[in-house]
Structure 1
């Protein structure tokens, strides 16, 4: 049964449901270099590398153990992001299939940090 059958009009939620249903299944991304971006400004906030991407992103956004990205934003008076809504305000980009294991990921990570100068990476 679809949402239309309940008499509901087209909503943002329904659009997300349809988008989800139309996507092909993807395998879990393991080895990757990723960037966390402010969706509104487009600014790169953080670049990292991970052997298991979903696990690493959980470290950044997990509310039980304390979100790393939320902590960065809370401590930063120069950014207009409300720390309580950081998950909804950010997007993640990643590249996978990098040769050379951890060393290969670290080379790509370092190159991206130099080029993009993310706000929350140590310099």
Structure 2
């Protein structure tokens, strides 16, 4: 911002387990295995998201790349979800953070559409539809 404050938006890609799974023990064992081997996705170039595990962000793959290192060290710590300012959780927050209105706007930003006002007005219309059906 003009005042020097920094911020960034991020999206959560959660891992979930359910109590109703047929085999809780197998489900827990799989999740433990997955988390222990999560680093392989980045080491093999299969994942382009920023990892949250410090052990992964410390890998040379990230620290030797100036763009990734800057993203991890400077921007990831100030990132918040779009819904971070909500006073309490509610179902429509998922549509705000990961719904089509936000995704459409971000795609247009990445494609270089420069009419910020039009993009934000379109986003507003999309969010109002979700929050006030």
TM over 0.5: same fold? no
Scaled by the length of structure 2, the TM-score of the pair is: 0.27
Larger fraction in helix: 2
Which structure: larger Rg?
A: 2
The structure richer in strand per residue is 1
Q: Provide TM-score, normalisation by structure 1.
A: 0.29
